[in-house]
């Protein structure tokens, strides 16, 4: 018997300026949702003291529907491994799993929209910036273009009807991971989001996209780089031909 409706994994690296507001907003959304939610913050020993701030939030959290836990790993180990470890930890206790960034680009108010699609029976619900009603705010034109082109590129090569392949705000039915093992997901970085969506759709699970407005991070530093784009560019072909 799963205790929580949703388990949310939030990976953090130097998010001290955003994390309290994010957790407060999630708590508010959880109250509106009226379901039990568990958050697991996966912090990679952020030098800016993110973990201390999360501990303070945990101490003063008085929302009985919300449990917040923190895991601190020794050093920066990447987004994909944070998600995989986090999901593996929450899987048996939560009916659904969600990925959410800590920089406030993923607005917690959308939890209700994700949940409504989950209750309609979808196995995977994708937060999409590239369908009607969705958008990116404040990004430079070149970054908007790269993001949109990346999704078109994946859509054509992987021949899958998903409009936002690279976005990280998604919900998964946790039973998906009885079929799909975390060790089968090889990718790091952006490719991780692409690989998750592709493999889950290939396995025949149902999915849909919901529109999200995605504001740029206000605080903290972007980890976006040419290396990330390059990895994803080649990686999509490896995925298609099932190469390691
Ligand atoms: N635990 C952990 N979290 C990470 C790591 N790298 C990034 N993150 C977190 O993963 C989330 C997404 O990273 P972002 O840097 O926002 O990536 P992005 O949204 O593609 O790019 P920007 O918003 O422009 O920085 C944020 O909450 C980061 O703090 C990492 O190595 N380990
Ligand atoms: Mg971000």
Mean pLDDT of the chain: 95
pLDDT of residue 240: 93
Q: Is the CB of 140 under 6 A from ligand 1?
A: no
Q: What is the average pLDDT across 53-63?
A: 98
Sequence-separated (6 or more) residues with CB below 8 Å from residue 203: 176, 179, 180
Residue 223 beta carbon below 6 angstroms from any ligand 1 atom: yes
pLDDT tens-digit readout, 142-161: 889 999 999 999 999 999 99
Residue 244's pLDDT band (boundaries 50, 70, 90)? Answer: low
**Predicted TM-score (pTM) of this structure:** 0.96
Give the closest residue (by CA) to ligand 1 atom 32: 78
Residue-level pLDDT at 230: 81
Residue whose Cα lies nearest atom 25 of ligand 1: it is: 222
- Ligand 1, atom nearest to 76 Cα: 31
Q: Which helix (H) or strand (E) holds 56?
A: helix 50-60
Q: How far apart are CA 44 and CA 6, in angstroms?
A: 23
The per-residue pLDDT for range 113-140, each reduced to its tens digit, is 999 999 999 999 999 999 999 999 988 8
Best mutation site among 8, 10, 11, 167 for ligand 1 pocket (most ligand atoms within 8 Å of CB):
11
DSSP 8-class letter at 219? S
Radius of gyration for the chain, computed over Cα atoms and rounded to the nearest angstrom: 17
Does the pLDDT of residue 53 top 70, yes or no?
yes
What are 174-222's pLDDT values in tens digits? 999 999 999 999 888 779 999 999 999 999 999 999 999 999 988 877 7
User: Which pLDDT band, with edges at 50, 70 and 90, does 228 fall under?
Assistant: confident
Sheet holding 94-99, edge to edge: 66-72, 37-43, 4-12, 94-99, 170-173, 124-128, 207-211
Ligand with an atom nearest the CA of residue 100 = 1
How many residues are present in the chain? 244
């Amino acid at each position: 018997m799963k205790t929580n409706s949703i388990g949310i994994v939030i990976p953090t690296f130097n998010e001290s300026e955003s994390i309290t507001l994010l957790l407060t907003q999630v708590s508010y959304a959880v109250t509106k949702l009226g379901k039990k939610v568990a958050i697991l913050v996966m912090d990679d020993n952020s030098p800016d003291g993110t973990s201390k701030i999360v501990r303070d939030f945990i101490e003063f959290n008085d929302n009985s529907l919300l449990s917040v836990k923190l895991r601190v790993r020794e050093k920066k180990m990447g987004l994909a491994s944070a998600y995989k470890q986090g999901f593996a930890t929450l899987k048996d206790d939560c009916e659904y799993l969600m990925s959410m960034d800590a920089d406030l680009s993923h607005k917690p108010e959308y939890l209700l929209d994700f949940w409504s699609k989950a209750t309609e029976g979808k196995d995977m619900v994708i937060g999409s910036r590239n369908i009607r009603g969705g958008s990116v705010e404040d990004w430079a034109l070149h970054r908007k273009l790269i993001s949109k082109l990346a999704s078109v590129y994946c859509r054509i090569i992987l021949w899958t009807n998903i409009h936002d392949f690279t976005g990280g705000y998604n919900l998964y039915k946790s039973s998906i991971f009885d079929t799909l093992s975390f060790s089968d997901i090889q990718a790091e970085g952006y490719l991780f989001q692409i690989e998750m969506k592709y493999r889950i759709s290939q396995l025949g699970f149902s999915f849909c996209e919901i529109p999200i407005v995605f504001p740029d991070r206000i605080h903290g530093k972007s980890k976006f780089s040419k290396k990330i784009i390059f990895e994803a560019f080649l990686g999509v072909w490896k995925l298609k031909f099932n190469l390691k």
